[in-house]
């Protein structure tokens, strides 16, 4: 059971994750700022995403209100997983180092990551990272 949103779908999901429940108009207004997009194109996309189960909606008003139906964290996890498998031959640390070498995070970010690593080391092969529900 694995989802695979397209790039366009991801754009919409990102907006929904950030802004919360939104109408097609809301989403479209955001998209328009960064790209050409027809209103009905956005509408159709979101209808298809509804079909696929990526979104859910409240249709009790004239303007339907859409919400993401998959969590940001879970989606990120699955996409990262896929990238590790398909692009890094299964090596998470390879991905991590590529991300770091490529990106050069700030010292603050570095420290955050190191802290995270230290915590992991302590717990060794115990369980997964803590997650706030």
Using CB under 7 A as the criterion, which residues of the chain lie in contact with DNA when the complex forms? 4, 6-9, 23-25, 36-41, 43-45, 47-48, 59, 62-64
Look at phi and psi of residue 28 and say left if phi exceeds 0, alpha if psi is from -120 to 50, else beta. alpha
Which residues contact residue 84 at a Cβ distance below 8 angstroms, ignoring those fewer than 6 apart?
90, 91, 92, 95
Main-chain phi, psi angles of 67, to 5 degrees? -135, 150
Segment contacting a copy of itself by CB under 8 A, of 20-28, 47-55, 59-67, 118-126? 118-126
Residues that bind a copy of itself (CB under 8 A): 7, 10-11, 14, 18, 73, 75-77, 79-81, 83-84, 86-89, 91-105, 107, 109-110, 112-114, 116-117, 120-121, 124-125, 128-129
């Amino acid at each position: 059971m694995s989802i695979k949103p397209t790039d366009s779908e991801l754009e919409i999901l990102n907006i929904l994750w950030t802004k919360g429940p939104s109408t097609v108009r809301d989403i479209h207004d955001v998209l328009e700022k960064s790209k050409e997009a027809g209103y009905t194109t956005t509408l159709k996309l979101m209808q298809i995403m509804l079909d696929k189960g990526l979104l859910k909606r409240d249709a009790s008003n004239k303007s339907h209100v859409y919400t993401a139906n998959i969590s940001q964290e879970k989606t990120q996890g699955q996409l990262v997983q896929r990238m590790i498998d398909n692009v890094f031959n299964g090596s998470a640390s390879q991905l991590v180092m590529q991300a770091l070498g490529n990106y050069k995070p700030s010292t603050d970010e570095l420290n955050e990551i190191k802290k995270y690593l230290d915590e992991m080391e302590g717990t060794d092969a115990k369980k997964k990272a803590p997650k706030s529900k």
